[in-house]
Chains A and B, each alone.
Chain A
Amino acid sequence: MNRGAVLILTDTEDHTTDLIVHALQERDAHVVRLDPGAGPLNIDARLEEGRWVGEVGDQHRAARLTDVVSVLWRWPGTPSGHPAITSQAARAWAAREDALSILGVLRTLPVRWINHPARISVANDKPDQLLTAQACGLAVPPTLITSSGVTAREWIRRRPAGARVLYKAQHAQGADPDAMVTAGIAEAASVPDLLAAASCFQEVIPGRSIRLTVVGPKMFAVEISGTDLLD
C-alpha cells in the first residue's frame, strides 16, 4: 500500500522540525527530510503528462515525486554545489543550477504545502502585511517608511500629544550573525538627517500585545506580558 510521503525541506539544526518528524514517525508516516544545503541532492525528474515525475533525495533516502502527499517547507539550506568541484566559480554556478532545478521541480508538486515558498515570500512582505491587515479591518497605526531623517523627525513631531513612535526593521536579523534588530522607541531628537537605509516608523498602539496565529478558520491568541519592551 502506498502510504504517501511527507517531504520536509529544512536544515539539520531545526529542532522544531525534530518534533514534527518524531510525531509523524510515531504515527508510522513515511517521512523524507532533506536539506539542500547539507550536500548535493540527487534528482531524476521527467516531465510527463503535465507534471514532474521521478525521484529526489540525498545519500540516505529518496522520495518518489508522485508519492509525495505534502511538503513542509521550513528552512531549507541553500545548495552550495558539489564538493568535488574545485573551481569556486564553477561550484557557485552548479549550486545555482541545483537550486533552480531541484527546488524548482519541488515547488511544482500539486500537494498540500505548509507553506509554499511563493506564499511565504508574499506573506513576508511587511508593507503588504499592513495593507492586508487594514483590508481585514484591523487597526493599523499611522506608518512611515522613509530614507529621510528630516521627514521622519517632522512626522514623529506631528503625532498626537502623548503618542509614542517606534522604529521597526523589515527583517529581524541584525548586521552581526548573533544580533537582532528589535522594535524600539524612536525619539525625534535622536533621528539623524541621514538614516542610511529605508526606515519604518509607526505610532505605538497602546494596550495589550497579542500574538495571533491563524490556521484556516481557527485562531490561536497569546497575550504577551511580563515586559515593557515592544518586541
Chain B
Amino acid sequence: MTPYGLIHQQSLDPAFTTPPPNLTYCPVRQQTLANGVPLAAQPDLLQAYSVTWGTTDKDNKTDAGG
C-alpha cells in the first residue's frame, strides 16, 4: 500500500533535477566555477541554475530540509 500523503507527491521538472553542465567546485577558491569563473559572479547563470537542482531534500525554501 502507499501512504495517503504520497498522493500529493510531485516529480520535479528535470530542469531542477539535472545537474547543470560545466560546473566544478574549486576547493581553492571555495566556490563553484562555471567555465572557470565563479558562479556567484554570474548572476544570470546562477539564477538559471536553481539552487534546488538535484537536491530536493535541501530545498531552498526551508533550510535543513523542511
Name A's B-contacting residues (CB within 8 A).
8, 11-16, 18-19, 21-23, 25, 31, 33, 58-60, 74-75, 120-121, 124, 126, 149, 167, 169, 171-184, 190-192, 194-197, 199, 211
Who on chain A is nearest to B18 by CB? A178
Listed by A's residue number, 22 A-B pairs whose Cβ atoms lie within 8 Å are: A8-B30, A11-B58, A13-B32, A13-B54, A13-B55, A15-B40, A15-B46, A15-B51, A16-B51, A22-B31, A22-B38, A167-B5, A172-B61, A174-B10, A175-B9, A178-B56, A179-B12, A180-B59, A182-B10, A184-B8, A196-B3, A199-B5
- What is the interface of chain B mostly: helix, strand, loop, or mixed? mixed
Q: Which of B4, B30, B38, B65 contacts A171 (CB 8 A)?
A: B65
Q: Are A173 and B4 in contact (CB under 8 A)?
A: no
Q: Are B49 and A14 in contact (CB under 8 A)?
A: no
Q: Are A196 and B8 in contact (CB under 8 A)?
A: no
| B17 contact set on A, CB distance < 8 A | 178
| Total A-B Cβ pairs within 8 A | 127
Who on chain B is nearest to A195 by CB? B4
Whether B62 is near chain A, meaning CB under 8 Å from some CB there, is: yes
Q: Are A195 and B3 in contact (CB under 8 A)?
A: yes
**Complex formed: what's the CA distance from A33 to B60 in Å?**
19
The contact string, 1 if C-beta is below 8 Å from chain A, for chain B 10-39, is: 111000010000000101111110000011
**Complex formed: what's the CA distance from A191 to B5 in Å?**
10
**Complex formed: what's the CA distance from A161 to B27 in Å?**
59
**Complex formed: what's the CA distance from A151 to B12 in Å?**
32
Q: Are A18 and B4 in contact (CB under 8 A)?
A: no
**Complex formed: what's the CA distance from A120 to B66 in Å?**
10
Q: Are B41 and A22 in contact (CB under 8 A)?
A: yes
Q: Are B11 and A178 in contact (CB under 8 A)?
A: yes
Instruction: Report B25 CB to chain A, min CB distance, Å.
Output: 4
Instruction: Report B18 CB to chain A, min CB distance, Å.
Output: 9
Query: A15-B49, A74-B63, A196-B2 in contact; A181/B58 too (CB < 8 A)?
Result: no
